[in-house]
């Protein structure tokens, strides 16, 4: 696959961030990373990614606050959120910000790539949306 889409991955856990970076880069995407929500906001403003993938639970700025800040900045790109558990109220707040795709940790390579393809509209894939309670 040859692709030039820019993806920003935001996670405060290197054990998640680094493998996701390699998987996406191997699939042909141009990948930027950030180790927390604040850095993610700065990278998104600078690099203008085509899609953002973020962990939900981070400190000091979590995924939801990152998404809200991005939307306030006028960033309308698709955002994928992943987490071990997302409370239904938090998921509803993400949905109000236009987030459609949620992935459960641990995220498989296939799930990740399918979600990116679906969100970018690059092909017809099955739904990757999952809901946790």
d(CA 73, CA 114): 27
Q: Which residues partner with 53 through β-bridges? A: 9, 80
Question: Is the pLDDT score of 56 beyond 60?
Answer: yes
CATH superfamily of domain region 6-120: Response regulator (3.40.50.2300)
Least confident of 24-33, 37-46, 121-130: 121-130
What is the structure's pLDDT at 127?
Answer: 38
Q: What percent of the chain has pLDDT over 90?
A: 82
Token pair of 17 as six digits: 């961030």
Q: By C-alpha distance, which of 101, 123, 99 is closest to 111?
A: 101
Q: What is the mean pLDDT of residues 73-93?
A: 95
């Amino acid at each position: 696959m040859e692709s030039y889409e820019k993806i920003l991955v935001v996670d405060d856990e290197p054990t998640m961030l680094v493998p996701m970076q390699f998987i996406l880069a191997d699939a042909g995407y141009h990948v930027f990373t950030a180790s927390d929500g604040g850095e993610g906001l700065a990278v998104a403003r600078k690099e203008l990614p085509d899609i953002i993938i973020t962990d939900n639970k981070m400190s000091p700025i979590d995924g939801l606050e990152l998404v809200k800040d991005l939307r306030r900045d006028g960033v309308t790109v698709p955002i994928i959120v992943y987490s071990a558990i997302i409370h239904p109220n938090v998921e509803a707040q993400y949905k109000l910000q236009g987030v459609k795709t949620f992935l459960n940790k641990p995220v498989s390579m296939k799930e990740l790539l399918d979600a990116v393809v679906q969100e970018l509209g690059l092909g017809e894939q099955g739904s990757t949306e999952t809901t946790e309670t």
